[in-house]
Structure 1
Amino acid sequence: MHIPVAIIGAGLGGLVLARVLHINGIRATVYEGDASPEARLQGGMLDIHDFNGQLGLKDAGLYEQFLELIHPGGQQSRFFDKDGTLLMDNPDDGKGGRPEVQRGELRRILLESLPEDAVHWGHKLSSARSLGDGRHELIFADGQLVTTDLLIGADGAWSKVRPLLTDATPTYTGLVFFETWLNDADVHHRESAQAVGGGSMFALAPGKGIMAHCEPDGVLHAYIALRRPKAWVDSIDVSTGQLPKAALPRNSTAGLHR
Structure 2
Amino acid sequence: MLRFAIAGGGLGGLTLARILHRHDIDAVVYEREASRSARAQGGMLDLHPESGQQALDDAGLTGRFRSEARPEGEEHRILDPAGRTLVHHTPQPGSFSGRPEIDRSALRDLLLDSLPGDAVAWQHRLVAATPRPDGGFGLTFDGGHRADCDVLIGADGARSVVRSLLTDTRLSSVATLVELSISDPDRRHPDLAELVGPGNLWCIGVNQILAAQRLGDGSIRVGISLPPDARHMDAYRSKRALLDMFDGWAPGLTALIEAGGPPNPRRIEAMPTGTRWAHRPGITLIGDAAHLMPPVGEGANQAMLDAAELAAEIAANPTDPDSAIQNYEEAMFARIHPIAEMSARVQAMMLSSSAADQVVRFFTPRPTESASAD
Between the aligned residues of both structures, percent identity stands at 39
Q: State the shift of 1:246 in Å.
A: 4.3
Q: Is the 8 A contact 1:195 1:256 kept in 2?
A: no
The residue that corresponds to 1:245 in the other structure is 239
> 2: distance between equivalents of 1:247 and 1:228?
17
Which residue in the other structure is 1:209 paired with? 209
Map 1:93-172 → 2, pairs under 5 A: 93=92, 94=95, 97-131=98-132, 135-172=136-173
Shift of 1:236: 4.6
Deviation at 1:217, TM superposition (A): 3.8
CA contact (8 A) 2:210 2:223 kept: yes
| Residues 1:80 and 1:145: Cα distance change in structure 2 (over 3 Å) | same
1:35 aligns with 2:34: yes
Q: Could you tell me which amino acid in structure 2 is paired with residue 155 of structure 1?
A: D
Point out where structure 2 has 5 or more consecutive residues left out of the alignment: 257-374
The match for 2:45 is: 46
Q: CA separation of 1:188/1:162 partners in 2, compared to 1, >3 Å: closer, same or farther?
A: same
Matches of 1:149 and 1:61, distance apart in 2: 27
Aligned residue for 1:68, secondary structure, equals: helix
Looking at structure 1, the residues matched to 96 and 63 of structure 2 have their Cα atoms a distance apart, in angstroms, of 18
Return the alpha-carbon distance in structure 2 between the equivalents of residues 86 and 132 of structure 1.
63
Letter in 2 for 1:245: K
Cα deviation digits, residues 198-236 of structure 1 (max 9, x gap):
210111122211111112243111111223522332x45
Query: What is the letter of the counterpart of residue 117 of structure 2?
Result: E
Residues 172, 251 of structure 1: CA spacing in aligned structure 2 closer, same or farther, 3 A cutoff? closer
In 1: Cα distance, 2:97 partner to 2:199 partner: 12
Q: TM-score, normalised by structure 2?
A: 0.63
- How big is the shift at 1:248? 1.7
Number of the residue aligned with 1:187: 187
Give the conservation status (yes or no) of the 8 Å contact 1:191–1:256: no
For 1:249, what is the secondary structure of its paired residue?
A: helix
Helix, strand or coil at the partner of 2:3: strand
**1:13 aligned partner, one-letter code:** G
Aligned to 1:240: none
Residue 107 (structure 1) shift? 0.7
Q: Considering only aligned residues, what root-mean-square deviation do their CA atoms show, in Å?
A: 2.2
C-alpha distance in structure 2 between counterparts of 1:95 and 1:72, whole Å? 6
- Mapped partners of 2:17, 2:85: distance in 1: 44
Q: Do 1:195 and 1:257's aligned partners in 2 also have CA atoms closer than 8 Å?
A: no
SS in 1 for 2:57: helix
More helix per residue: 1 or 2? 2
Superposed CA offset, 1:49-99 (max 9, x none): 111111111111111000001124111110011222111100011365100
Match of 1:68 in 2: 67
Cα 1:228–1:61 shift into 2, 3 Å: closer
Structure 1 residue ranges, 4+ long, deviating more than 6 angstroms after superposition: none
Corresponding residue for 1:13?
A: 12
Name the counterpart of 2:352: none
Name the counterpart of 2:327: none
Aligned residues: 250
1: CA distance, partners of 2:165 / 2:101: 34
Q: Tell whether the 8 Å contact from 2:71 to 2:99 is kept in structure 1 after alignment.
A: no
- Separation (CA, whole Å) in 1 of partners of 2:235 and 2:124: 29
Within 2, Cα distance between the matches of 1:190 and 1:256?
Answer: 15
SS of residue matched to 2:195: helix
Moved more, 245-254 or 93-102: 245-254
Contact 1:75 1:99 in 2 (8 A): yes
Contact 1:3 1:29 survives alignment (8 Å): no
Deviation track 1:165-220 (CA, whole Å, cap 9, x = no partner) reads 111132222x2111112122223222222222221011112221111111224311
Distance 2:67 2:172 in 1: 38
Range that drifts further, 5-14 or 109-118 = 109-118
Q: Is the 8 A contact 1:7 1:28 kept in 2?
A: yes
